[in-house]
Structures are given as structure tokens and as C-alpha cells.
Amino acid sequence: MTGIVRMALEEDLGSGDVTTQACVPETLMARGRFIAREPLVVAGLGVLDQLYDAPALWKRDGDRCAEGEVVAEVRGRARALLERERVALNFLQRLSGIATLARRFADAVAGTPCRVLDTRKTTPGLRLLEKQAAAAGGVTNHRMGLYDAVLIKNNHIAAAGGVRRAIELTLASGLPLEIEVRTRAELREALSAGARHLLLDNLSPEEAAQWIREIDGRAQVEVSGGITLENVRAYAETGADFVSAGAITHSARAVDISFRLELE
């Protein structure tokens, strides 16, 4: 059991499930079914493997589920099934909510060459699971953390002493390098300094299209800031290579999945 799942279970169980211990016989055997109560894209099924013995998974992460479909089934002592029900649902509902929203973003840009990226705007401690859920929904994972790619933003530029200096100082890392540019002057300076991946933040689709025409293929372009389901296609049609949306992880609604216990 991974640390985050163990922590969640310990948080809920504490010294024991007093309700279940009081009214459910210790030797009673049962099965439980996880059921989608609305159309959704499922994610987080790997958590069930950590909480239950040999769960039967009727879906895979990334599968679409219709209302009423069984996602997974577990068997064992009724007490054990009930003790772990809420923790399992919390993970499944949250992660499937992310996958469902991610699929909507991916569908919104279908037919364009632009790819949707997630961000680091994740629940503390749940980043790996949430990014796995986003990928299951069809978007592309951006960097996992501060350690696996260079992303120079406005505060880095200010601290380093300018766009060119920031690029020069980070080139030696050998890691993928992306830099945020806020003005046309910064854009031109970044390109002249050898930047090959640019982040355009908080531009309108019309402004982004103008900047991308000036870039003219000399660098890959990511657009971000205020990206919603309503405008993501407009940004994708600017010619951007990527569009990133923090909402995929920080604003996804937990979807409705229920657990039904049946005696064996």
C-alpha cells in the first residue's frame, strides 16, 4: 500500500470503525460493487488493488462509463469492505472527476494539432495520482515537479537580471527549457538567446495568434492563463503547440460513484 493510500485509510479508521464493529458480524462475507451514477471517465482503479484483495475491475482507467455501469467489484469480509468504502470512493470520485474533465478538454481541441497540458496545480500529496488521472482522460502531463524541466517565469527573470541572462544561466542544466515572455520585446530577446519553447500567458486568443505569427515556427509555443472549456478551442486554433489548463486538476468536480454491499 502506498503512503498516501495508507495515510488516507489511517485517517478514516483511526482506532477502528465503531459502527461496523457494532452491527456487522465478524465472519459475515459479502461483495460490493462500485457503480457509476452519472456518465464519467473512470480513473484511480489502481487504488482498489491497494485497499482490497483481488478486486474485479470491469473498467480500465480512461474508459467511459454510462450511468448505472459497474466499474469494479470486491469480495471479502463485510467488515473489511465497509471499513474501506469511503476511502475507496474518495479516491475514485476525485480521480474520475479529473479524468472526466480532462476528456472534455481533450475533446474540445480534437482535430487541431494542439495538445492540452495539465499543470502543477494539484492537491498536495496527490500529484502523481491526479496527473495519472489527467493522462487517463486524454491530456498530456506537463512537468511533474520543479526537478524535471526548466520553466523560467517572470519572477525568475527578475531575479536573474533579464530574459537573456536567465536563459544563459539555465542552459547548462541540460534539461528541457521553457521561458515565459510577457512583452513582444521579451519575446524577441528570448528567441535571439536561443529559446526553443515559449510560454505565452494571459493573452487573448487574438493576441496569442499575432505573437505566434511573429514566432513563425522558431520555437514551440504554450499558451496559458484563463483557459476554460469555452475558450480552449479558440486558443488551440491560434497555432499554439500546447495549451495548459490548471482547472483540470484544481477545479474538477468529484463525480458520483456509489458502493453497494450485497451478502454472499
User: What CATH number is attached to the domain comprising 85?
Assistant: 3.90.1170.20
The three-class DSSP label of residue 191 is helix
pLDDT in tens, 67-93: 999 999 999 999 999 999 999 999 999
Which H or E element spans position 177?
Answer: strand 177-181
Cβ(177)–Cβ(167) below 8 Å: yes
CA 163/CA 154 separation, integer angstroms? 9
Below-50 pLDDT ranges, the chain: none
Instruction: Judge if 208 and 108 occupy the same domain.
Output: yes
Q: Give the pLDDT of residue 39.
A: 98
Instruction: Judge if 80 and 142 occupy the same domain.
Output: no
**131 to each of 33, 153, 238, 244, how far by Cα in Å?**
26, 22, 26, 13
Instruction: Judge if 164 and 228 occupy the same domain.
Output: yes
Range of the domain at 189: 104-250
Instruction: Judge if 246 and 117 occupy the same domain.
Output: yes
Q: Give the pLDDT of residue 50.
A: 96
User: What CATH number is attached to the domain comprising 117?
Assistant: 3.20.20.70
pLDDT in tens, 165-178: 999 999 888 889 99
Domain count of the chain? 2
The alpha-carbon radius of gyration of the chain (Å, integer) is 23
Cα 246–226–61 angle (5° rounding)?
30
CA 232/CA 236 separation, integer angstroms? 6
Instruction: Judge if 222 and 211 occupy the same domain.
Output: yes
Instruction: Judge if 186 and 214 occupy the same domain.
Output: yes
**Which amino acids are annotated catalytic?**
86, 121, 153, 180, 201
